[in-house]
Structures are given as structure tokens and as C-alpha cells.
Structure 1
Amino acid sequence: MKYHGLCAVAASALFLSVSAADFGSFLEKRAGIWSSGAADLVRDYPGKFRWLDQSKKQARAIRTKTDPLTLYGDPLQEVIVTLDGKKQLGSVVLSIYNRGDAGEWDRDRFEEKLDLVRDKLSGFAGGKKPESQSAALGNGAKLFANIWRTPELDLVLRWSSTNRKEPEYITLELLPPGEAPKNLRASLKSTAGAGNLSEQVKQDAAGSRYLEIPMVDQGGKGYCVAATVERILRYYGSDIDQHVIAQLAASDANAGTSFEAMVDALEAADSRLGVRFKRHYEYKSLLSYRGVERLCKEYNSAAQKLKKERLKFNDFVVTRRKTKTFQLGQFLSALDPEVYSAVRMRDKNNYEEFVKLVRESIDDGVPLCWGILAVAGQKGGSDANFSAHMRIINGYNPQSGDIIYTDSWGFGHEKKQMTAEEAWSITNTLCSLVPRTRRAPGR
């Protein structure tokens, strides 16, 4: 993938070579942060920032092994800057700690870091004590914030932990004066109205109808479910991030997020987030021993018609102590992509419902959480033997019938396309999150 750095923001700053400064020094610019614009980032942090998407409204820097960005001498995990309409800085978010990138911290280390940053910020604010806010989201997750409001900028220090005091993240957000949230809980809720979502539908030169969903780059973390939910909630106006959502669903940075855990978390927290959750479809053939057995029979029937090799179900069954266990991973790895796609396309009724739901949802301005399971060789999957992933369906083309989707991987992944048949053949789950003031599609 091509490098999409901040170079285009300020050509005059391209050739200046200044060693990366600590963000503690950046803070000392105070009101100058908002007037100097993005050119200073190019100058002071050369080669660090990349655009999050093609709108070039946000840029991101991640921690590197050499010469990392720092705050008060300690490496930052991530920095995200948002530009305003004049291409000047509108906000800066510093990830001081997050479990997904930095691993587990014990409570003492977490509290020590919080105290250090809090003391530094109080000193920066002239000894002023911060406002303290908190919000419970359910499932044991609780958010906290300290806010310093100064004439030059607002500082919002946020952190999160569970009822078991397990640390999740610490972030520092820099905002223009007066823009810090008055109420932390209210800032997490969707602000989208029931009547204006359809106004968000855009149309490109090819006639495709699509929604612009705020981009998030999940990085190397297994946070595709959390990142998907964050993007949709931000589309609805919520001020939330994937680390909060990951905590709600007890995500693992390596193993990812259990879809069922995320469903439970969303159902527990949906009223606090101002949204309602609806599951529209779930591929049930892989959920039980009998279901996979039926799938294998359907697969062999399709394989015979396509003159492909058939599979023996018992080759994937292991018996231990009179208990039969089906080796699902090995079975999925053995599937031929053409045959498996043919099996999925036999379900004409659900396929037609899928196409109808996509069109109705997008026309209503509602994106869809799209869980996929692809075998090797299927379009939209990975190079692995099989892959499970969550992405967003954010559009369709009325003429070709193609599905438009987006992955949470940053620049270049905002708007991708495949045929409806290709999309259906890898569909595992399909859900929606909609503002609570609006009826969910498909009801």
C-alpha cells in the first residue's frame, strides 16, 4: 500500500528536518496549537503521520520501536489529529495506554501513570483542580474523566476500568477552549435524529449509493468487531472509541472479540449509547454438529455437479472417551471456494432478503455490521485457510447490484466493492445499530 503521509498539508514544511519533540512541549504552544495548523506536525514530527482516509480530515501516528512519539518522556501508543474546515488542528488525541497495543498493566502501574499525567496537567493549568466525571456503561465497564478548562485549550484525561479494577486505556484529548464535554455520559450517546439519516446517503459518478462512515484503523489488534461498532456509533454522533467497546465485550487483542460477547455487551449498553441492536441474519450451519453434517452433504452434492472432489465427514471427526468432536477448522480449510459459494447460493430466499435489506438500510442511512467467514480463495477473505472478520456494508450500486463495504484498516479501505453473490457467499452474520428514536430496518 502506498504511503499516505501528511506531506500534502504543507508543502513549505516538507524539507525541514527537526527531531521529533515531546508532546509536553507541543502543549506549551497553548492557543498556538489551533492557529498554527497541521504544518507544525509535518515539521516537528516528520514522517510520523498518515491519513486515516481519503477525506484527509484525520491523520494517525502509531508507536514505533525507534524514535516513538512521547508525552513527558514516555512513549505514546497512538496519536490522532483531526483537522477543521480550514485544515487547522481541531483536536488531538494522545493514547497514553491501551491494553490492545501495550498489553496488560497491573493496577499499580496504571494508577502511577494516571497520577503522573494528572499532576503534569494540573501544573500546566496553573494548579487548577480538574472537573471529575464518570459514566457506567454496563457489563462492569466504567469510564472516568478529568477535565481542565483553560483560556487557550481544554484538556480531557480519560481512562477506563472494570468493576474488577482491570485497566483498559488512558487517553488525553486536546480541544479548543469550551469544547470539552459538559457531560461524559451524554457525549457517548448517539445524537443522530430519526429523520436525518437518509440525508447522509451520497451518490458517486458510477451511480453507487453509499454512506461515509468515519474511519478507524484497528492496527494489528484483533479488534475488528470493536472498531466496526465504534465507526457506526461515531457515524451517529457518539464520542466513543474501540477501547471502551473492547472492554464492554471483554475483547482480547490477539484472539479478537467474540461476536456473541459483543451482542451481549451491546444489548446491555444500548440504552446508554442511545442505539438499538438488531440481528438480521446468522448462518446456522456451522453452529452445531448436525448443522455441519448437513452442510457436508450439501457440499458433496454441489461438488459432484461441479466435478470437484467430495469430502468425507468422518475424516474430520475425532472420538475421545466416547465423545465425538468435529474439527471445524480442518473442515473449513478443506473447502473448495467455488463449491462452497455454490452451496451458499442455493439459499435463494435468504440471498434475496440480504439484497433487499442492504438496499433498504442504505437508503435509510443505516450501515450494517457484516460478519464474514470466507474459505481460502473466496473474494473478500484473506490468504489464510479460512478467515473470520467483521466489516461494514455502507453502500450498493443500483445498476450492477454490487455491494459496497469498508474495512477498519485506514486509508484505502473506505469504499470497496464486490458482487452481491460474492458478498452473500461469505456472509456469516448481519446486524444493525440504529438510533433509539428510529425503527430498525427489517422490522
Structure 2
Amino acid sequence: MRFIASICILLLPAALPAYSRTWTSTDGKEVEAEVVTVNANQTVALRTHSGRTITVPFNTFAAADVEHLEYLLSRKGRGPLHAVPWNELNQLFGIEIWQDDNLWDDATAETANRMGLAKESKTDFMENHRAYPLGEAKVLKEPVYTTVLYGGTEHVASISFVFANQGDMPIPNGQISPGLIEQMAVKIEESGEHVHNVLEPVLGEPKRDTLGKGDMREKVWRWDWNEHAIMLTVAEGKYAALRIMPADRADRAGRVEKITEAELKKRMASCVERHENGDVVIRNIPMIDQGPKGYCSPATWERYLRYMDIPADMYLLALAGNTGVGGGTYAHQMMAATKSLISANGRELEPIGNSLAPQNIAEYIDQGLPIMWRFMSTSDLQFAANRNTAERKGQKIKEKNVPSSGYGGHICLVIGYNERTGEAAISDSWGPKYAERWIKVGEVGSQNYQYGSMNVIKW
């Protein structure tokens, strides 16, 4: 192996290049050198610390090195491979995210499985998987409260880790005070600082960047790693979060490539199902589980926006809509906060009255447009929805087993109707079990309509 011998003579105890690797020849000799380029004719140009470059065949080296070279050849044209390998990044994060240096060609469900995430929703156009460790697990050595993986029809689209935040952090004795809010803000700032301090020694100093626009704009610290943008944000004492998305999408401030208005209308119309019993229902609305917090408004908005092919995140929506500690959002603030986002995507928010009657909602459901319904929720109304849904399936229920929304404001999606039976289908952000429930319109009392309203997002 004359090549190995010649390099060994040139090696000095100086610092090796950032992308150096220990190479082993077929007869067991080792040398450290940096890859300059790999070629289609199965040769590689290597450079030593002294700057000398020599080109040799792949088969100069042992099988493991040949495999590595073939891998480098397969990714040629995607830029230089980052000095930090994917398996070390997994170790740093403390969770199995990557199986190679490119997450964006990985199947969503398989990635969720190795990350230990449960399926939250799968439609014909997207899927998402989520976990609520609520601080009982760690990512980047910091307690994580929510982990969510978003995917398209096949592959991973983005990942989000939410650390300390005002929605998921426990509230002692259920009492919210100015002192508690200040304590939360300090913990959130510290959480973001801890994550920053874990990433920086490994990935280097981040650059400052932004995601979103208008009220949805976030300042982030951004690290780039092999076509991945790893972005940390600490949002006004509300939450600390880390998002991973394709670098080219981050370059567009998080925007995705839009489908045309005609394509979206056609897709939404295809989601309307009509059944022999008279049910008309919209399918393919993604589920977002708000978890143990009062985020019905941010979660419902995220569901609707994603259905409309507009990326959204309930924690950012909660920030923009000034959602309170533990939950609670004023409708006018959320509508004002999302106005620019909706407008930027060529849509508008339209009020449509305040009645679940089929004659009021049918024209929108028939187009594949869900309806956001704000109303006064009561345990009686929620029980009626559960009872009626069970009876449709030939079942009976005995207890009022629904998540407590209390007597107060609530928001859900209206996704269907039945003119024959005088029923409407509603969908709550409480997980798959509550994706579709049916309620008799006549059982909705005046107290439920109090302070209520309905809106659709349309063109």
C-alpha cells in the first residue's frame, strides 16, 4: 500500500482538518486524512494536514471505509457533510431522531416509532405524531413538555420540541398569581438558555434569524446541519421551543410551497363524504390534541389552518392570541393575530351567524369548509353529544365522561350535518376519540349560543 506509506511519512503532530477521518487500508494500516471529493469512477481525493492531495481507488480501504465513501458519493451535490455525524447528534439530543444525515427522506411513521411518539392524526395529505412527557423526559438535557412530529404524505416535514411553557407547566393549587407568572417566565428563559448552551459547543455559534411574519413572527437562534435548520426560540416568557425543518424552508421564514387555489378547492371538495343515512361529513381534518391545558382555541386554529395547507403551531398561536397561563383565549385577539397569516395565504375569515341548523351550515360543509364554533360549553351539552354519538353506534353510556371545559367559553369545529335528523357533527381538540361527535341541534340551548359565533376561512 504505497499510498498509505507515503501519507504516513507526511503526517505531523499538527491539528487535523475538521473533516478528517481515520482510514484503514486493506492490510490494516491506518492514516488520517480529509475527503476533498469523491468521484463517480469510485476514486476519492484525500488531503492530509500538510495540504498534499492524493487520489486513490475506493478499494484501497477496508469495507467500512468503502461503505462510507459510497455513502458520500450517493449524497454528492448536497454540499459538504457536517463535521458532527448524525449518531452523535442523536446522543446530544438524547432521542433517536436521525438514522442518517438526511431526515427529510425518512418515512414519518417509522421516524415517530424510533422517537417513541404516538400517532395523533393521519389524513390523505398529512400526518402528525405527538407525546406529552410534561417534563418527565429530557431532550438536550432539558425537561421537555411536548414533542410533535409533522409529516406530509410520505416523509418527515418538521419536528418541534416545547420545553418550559405557560400552557403545560403545573399550576400549584390551581392558583395563578403575578408571582407565579414571573417565576414561570424565569424558568422559561433558563430553559432556553440551557438548550442553547448544550447546542453551541457542538454545533458552534448560531446565527440570528426569524420565522413567520406579522404577529406570528419569531426570533430564533439558528444552527444549520446537513440541510437541516435547528432553531431555538424563547418567546416573551411564554415558551421555549426548538424546531427542526428543512434549511431551504427556514430560508423562506418557515413558509411552505403553496398549492394553487384551484387545487386546494378541489382537494377540499374531495374530502366531503355523503352517506345513505343523510350524514354529510368533512374528512381529512388533522387532529391536534391540546393536552391537559386549556388550549382549545390555539389547537382548533392549528387544525383548521393545517387543513387549509397553512403551517401553524398551537404554542405560537397561543402567544399571538395572548392565551393566558394554563389556557383561555379571547376570540377577538386570536382573530386579530391570525388575520395577516390568513391574508398572506390568500384567504379571509368570514362570520356566518350563530346557528348549528343544517340550513345555516350546509353550504360551507358542502364545499369542504369546516366551521369554527365558539359557544358556552356545559357538561349537559357535552354529555348530550356523547350520548347521541353512542346511540348512533347502538351503544349506551352511563356517565358524563368528557374532558372538563367547565361552564364557559369553548371552541370546536363543525364538520358535518344531517338534514333528515336535525344533527350537526362537531370535532374537538381532545384527541382521536373526539374527532367526530354528533349532537341534535334542538338540544343546543340558548345558554350555549350565548356570546357565541361562527366563522369559516375561505377565499
- Whether these two folds match at TM > 0.5 is yes
Q: Choose the corresponding residue for 2:410, options 377, 386, 389.
A: 389
- 1:359 maps to which of 359, 362, 367: 362
Alignment of structure 1 residues 5-404 onto 2, 5 Å: 23-26=93-96, 29-31=99-101, 35=106, 38-39=109-110, 42=113, 45=116, 49-53=117-121, 55=123, 57-64=127-134, 68-83=136-151, 85-86=153-154, 89-102=156-169, 104=181, 109-125=187-203, 127=204, 129-130=206-207, 132-138=209-215, 142-151=217-226, 153-159=227-233, 161=235, 166-175=236-245, 177-178=246-247, 180-184=249-253, 186=255, 193=261, 196-197=264-265, 199-200=267-268, 201-203=271-273, 205-206=275-276, 208-254=280-326, 256-267=328-339, 270-271=342-343, 275-281=347-353, 354-378=357-381, 379-380=384-385, 386-397=407-418, 399-404=420-425
Greater RCO between the two (CA within 8 Å, min separation 6)? 1
1:180 is paired with a residue whose SS is: helix
C-alpha displacement of 1:253: 3.5
Deviation, structure 1 residue 251: 1.1
Aligned residue type for 1:420: V
5+ residue gaps in structure 2?
1-89, 171-180, 387-399
After superposition, the C-alpha distances for 1:98-133 in whole angstroms (9 at most, x for unaligned) are 2211264566654444344335445544x3744612
| Letter in structure 2 aligned against 1:403 | A
More displaced 10-residue stretch of structure 1: 177-186 or 212-221: 177-186
Assess if the C-alpha contact under 8 Å between 2:141 and 2:195 holds in 1. no
1:364-417 Cα deviation digits (max 9, x unpaired)? 222111112244533249777745321001222355443122100112222222
For residues 369 and 445 of structure 2, the distance between their equivalents in structure 1, rounded to whole angstroms, comes to: 19
Distance in 2 (CA, whole Å) between partners of 1:272 and 1:44 is: 34
Number of equivalenced pairs: 332
Deviation at 1:231, TM superposition (A): 1.3
Q: Name the CA shift for 1:117/1:52 in 2 (closer, same or farther; >3 Å).
A: same
Where 1:70 maps in the other structure, the secondary structure is strand
Aligned residues of 2:160 and 2:243 also touching (Cα < 8 A): yes
| CA pair 359-61 structure 1, distance change in 2 beyond 3 A | same
Q: Is the 8 A contact 1:54 1:412 kept in 2?
A: no
The answer (yes or no) to whether the contact 1:198–1:364 under 8 Å persists in 2 is no
CA contact (8 A) 2:423 2:438 kept: yes
CA contact (8 A) 2:120 2:287 kept: yes
- Paired amino acid for 2:443: E
Give 1:414's aligned residue: 435
How far the C-alpha of 1:277 sits from its partner, in A, is: 2.4
What is the distance in 2 between the residues matched to 1:259 and 1:182?
A: 32
Cα pair distance change 1:146/1:414, threshold 3 Å: same
Alpha-carbon distance in structure 2 between the residues aligned to 1:167 and 1:263: 22
* 1:25 shift after superposition: 5.0
Return the offset for 1:186. 4.2
Post-superposition Cα deviations, 1:32-83, rounded to whole Å, max 9, x if no partner, equal: 75558755754674xxx33213659322111256xx3311222111111235
Q: Could you tell me how far apart the structure 2 residues matched to 1:64 and 1:113 are? A: 14
Q: Secondary structure at the match of 2:293?
A: coil
| Equivalent-residue separation in structure 2 for 1:133 and 1:64 (angstroms) | 27
Per the alignment, residue 305 of structure 1 pairs with: none
Largest Rg, 1 or 2: 2
| Deviation, structure 1 residue 270 | 4.9
- The superposition leaves residues 289-327 of structure 1 with CA deviations (integer Å, 9 ceiling, x where unpaired) of xxxxxxxxxxxxxxxxxxxxxxxxxxxxxxxxxxxxxxx
1:133-157 deviations in Å (ceiling 9; x for gaps) = 254534xx64123443332x51332
Q: Once superposed, what is the RMSD of the aligned Cα atoms?
A: 3.8
Tell me, in whole angstroms, the C-alpha distance in 2 between the residues paired with 1:217 and 1:92: 16
Change (3 A) 1:124 1:398: farther
CA gap of 1:270–1:194, structure 2 versus 1, over 3 A, is same
Distance in 2, Cα, partners of 1:232 & 1:387:
22
Q: Percent identity?
A: 19
SS at 2:316 equivalent:
helix
Aligned pair in 2 of structure 1 residues 402, 109: CA closer, same or farther (>3 Å)? closer
* 8 Å CA contact 2:342, 2:348 repeated in 1: yes
Partner amino acid, structure 2, of 1:404: A
Q: Which amino acid aligns with 2:441?
A: A
Partner of 1:432: 455
Q: Distance in 2 between matches of 1:191 and 1:205?
A: 29
Instruction: Call closer, same or farther: CA 1:44–1:267 in 2, change over 3 Å.
Output: closer
TM-score (norm 1): 0.62
Which letter does structure 1 place at the counterpart of 2:435? E
Q: What amino acid sits opposite 1:101 in the alignment?
A: D
Q: Is the 8 A contact 1:52 1:216 kept in 2?
A: yes
TM-score (norm 2): 0.60
Deviation at 1:359, TM superposition (A): 0.8
Letter in 1 for 2:144: L
- Provide the C-alpha distance between the structure 2 equivalents of 1:266 and 1:147, rounded to a whole number of angstroms: 25
Measured in 1, the distance between the counterparts of 2:438 and 2:365 equals 15
> Which amino acid in structure 2 is aligned with residue 418 of structure 1?
I
Deviation at 1:280, TM superposition (A): 2.6
How far residue 222 of structure 1 moved from its aligned partner, in angstroms, is 1.3
